[in-house]
Amino acid sequence: ADTKKIAVIAGDGIGPEVVAEAIKVMKKTEELYGLSFEFEHGLFGGIAIDEKGTPLPQETLDMCKAADAVLLGAVGGPKWDNNPKELRPETGLLGIRKALGLFSNIRPAKIFDCLKDASTLKPEVLEGTDLIVVRELTGGIYFGDKFRREGANGEEAVDTCVYNVHEVERIVRQAFEIARTRRKKLASVDKANVLETSRLWREVVNRIAPEYPDVELEHVLVDNCAMQLLRRPASFDVIVTENMFGDILSDEAAMLTGSIGMLSSASLGEGAFGLYEPVHGSAPDIAGQGIANPIATILSVALMYRLTFGYHEAAQSIEDAVASVLDAGHRTADIATDRSKAVGTQQMGDLIVAAM
């Protein structure tokens, strides 16, 4: 295969550690499947603030734009939490999403059979849970005007939530397409009984739905969805929703699985290009100790192979290797029942490479 350019932004905390294992796995697939990657590394997040005075340096952005896909570790940490807005890691995160046009965030939440005891939910409730949250990522209240002003009752703060028809259409279509490749069920989540943006959202969904007669559509109010995820997680297939609701519901869905150290995500734009990252954060409390779980990042590579490159065979081999290593009983500390037997970050990476 021709050489693919991968922009690697390891970021903060455990980011560099987990990304190193993901790259190890990618190199193994070069050997096994004749793939070829060129890795470029860039600064991003807290470390970029420290070294470059901005969470998203222009050269990092340029590197990402020139790449075929981006592999991201994690960003943030208490060190930068009280910085002014333009010097906070999350400002870089919002900035890179917007600058790369990544309007869609794909978050699979699937139960690994051998880990289902890790969940706080009863195993019989979780049985069969395998859902994807498709979250709109570059619109809504995240990106609308925000400001302070003097009101009649003193100082007030304002956030604006805006969606246009085009923004809703493209994400909803993508969700329908994904549902079509799966169990053919789509839950569109909104708050149409209160919000104008939700009413627009629902209109667009209803207008597009007839193009996908094979997909069963339900509209779910966001408060009800927060309940139903707990009550009947296995009944969901694909959930599509706007940015803020998606932030909340995708994290709730992730926690259902009980093993956030296992979950991957993809952020996509119009073409095949995508940014791939684990769902978990930078975990500053365990950074540098070599004990972080690299599986979420390794599975993000599998997602990259499937969604950006169409390397399905290599993706499958990664996913199978992860499953077989888990089945053999190997665990990092976060998912271990007996922490004294836990393997470290590198060891887990090595085990997965060996199983491929």
Ligand X SMILES: CC(C)[C@H](C(=O)O)[C@@H](O)C(=O)O
Report if residue 252 touches ligand X, rule: CB under 6 A: no
331 belongs to an annotated ligand binding site: no
> Can you tell me the distance from the alpha carbon of 328 to that of 201, in angstroms, rounded to the nearest whole number?
46
> Can you tell me the distance from the alpha carbon of 306 to that of 220, in angstroms, rounded to the nearest whole number?
29
**Which of ligand X, a copy of itself, none does residue 127 bind (CB under 5 to 8 Å by kind)?**
none
Q: What is the dihedral of CA 198, 255, 300, 205, to 10 degrees?
A: -20
Q: Which two tokens stand for residue 168?
A: 């809703």
Is 122 catalytic? The answer is no
Q: Which of 141/208 has CB closer to ligand X?
A: 141
Is 223 catalytic? The answer is yes
Q: Active-site residue among 130, 251, 320, 350?
A: 251
Q: Active-site residue among 62, 117, 223, 327?
A: 223
**Which of a copy of itself, ligand X, none does residue 254 bind (CB under 5 to 8 Å by kind)?**
a copy of itself
Nearest to 240 by CA among 276, 271, 209: 209
Is 142 catalytic? The answer is yes
Report if residue 90 touches ligand X, rule: CB under 6 A: yes
Min dist. Cβ of residue 266 to ligand X (A): 12
Binding residues for a copy of itself, rule: CB under 8 A, are 88, 90, 94, 120-122, 125, 141-142, 144, 146-148, 151, 153-167, 191, 193-197, 199-201, 222-224, 226-227, 230-231, 244-245, 247-252, 254-256, 260
Output the CA torsion sign for 209, 212, 214, 217.
negative
Report if residue 17 touches ligand X, rule: CB under 6 A: no
159 belongs to an annotated ligand binding site: no
Report if residue 196 touches ligand X, rule: CB under 6 A: no
CA atoms within 13 A on the CB side of 52: 18
87 belongs to an annotated ligand binding site: yes
The label of the residue with tokens 């010097």 reads 87
Please give the angle made by the CA atoms of 141, 142 and 143, to the nearest 5 degrees.
Answer: 95
| C-alpha distances in Å from residue 37, one per residue of 5, 219, 239 | 6, 42, 33
Which residues define the annotated binding site for substrate? 97, 107, 135, 223
Active-site amino acid positions: 142, 191, 223, 247, 251
**Residue list for the binding site for NAD(+):** 77-90, 281-293
